[in-house]
Amino acid sequence: MRLLTALEIDDLDGGMDNQKGYKSLLHGIAPQVMNFNSFEAEVEYIIDCLKQIKARGEPLKGTCLVARTHSLLKQYESDLKQKGIDTYFIRRSEPEDQTTPGLRMATMHRVKGLEFDRVIIAGVNDGIVPYEGYGAGSSDSAVRRDSEIQERALLYVSATRAKREVLVTSFGEASRFLGDL
C-alpha cells in the first residue's frame, strides 16, 4: 500500500480514491526487498530461494517470477534454465496450463488477475521501474503524473498477486519506488 500512499487516483465514479481506511483481508509476511551488485548475484539469490521452496516439497508452479518487460523476463529465463530451473511462460495469447510444472514467468502486465502463493518481482531497477519510455520524460506535468501513477499501480498489482509471500529484487541502482517499501 505504501506504493500508493499520498496518491489520489480517479475512482472512475466521479471521485478520487486515496486508499484512506484501506484494510487488507489477507495478511502474509512483509515483502522482502533485496538489492544486489550485479544481475548474476540477483539470479543466484533467486535460485537459492527457489531451491528452498523445492526442498520444502512445494512445487515451483505456485511461484511466479515477474519482470517489467518481456526482454528482461527472457534474460532471467535463460539464466534460470542454465541452472536447471524449469520455467513456464504465461502468455497473453493462451490460457495457462496449470498441469505443466515449473516456475511461472510473466510480465507485470500479464500477471494482472492471476494469483500465486509467491511472487518474485525481479529487476526492479532505476530506469526499468518506473519505465522511462512512456510519459516520464514529457514536458507536460499531467502526463508525467499519470505515468508515475500507472507505474506505481503496475508494481502494486504485481505484488498483490501473491497470496503468501513477495520478494522484490533489483541489481545495480534500485528503483526509487523501492524506497517506499
Helix (H, G, I), strand (E, B) or coil at 63: strand
The answer to the question of residue 9 being in a domain is no
Alpha-carbon distances, residue 174 vs 37, 39, 58, 170 (angstroms): 10, 12, 30, 6
**79/43 Cα distance (integer angstroms):** 7
Identify the CATH number of the domain in which residue 125 sits. Answer: 3.40.50.300
The answer to the question of residue 55 being in a domain is yes
The answer to the question of residue 180 being in a domain is no
**Structure pTM?**
0.84
More confident residue, 152 or 145: 152
The verdict on whether omega for the bond into residue 130 sits within 30 degrees of 0, i.e. cis, is yes
1-5, 39-43, 130-134, 149-153 — which one is most confidently predicted on average? Answer: 39-43
The answer to the question of residue 167 being in a domain is yes
Q: Where in the sequence is the domain holding 91, given as residue range(s)? A: 28-173
Give the count of domains, the chain. Answer: 1
The answer to the question of residue 85 being in a domain is yes
Predicted confidence (pLDDT) at residue 104 exceeds the cutoff of 60 = yes
The answer to the question of residue 11 being in a domain is no
The answer to the question of residue 46 being in a domain is yes
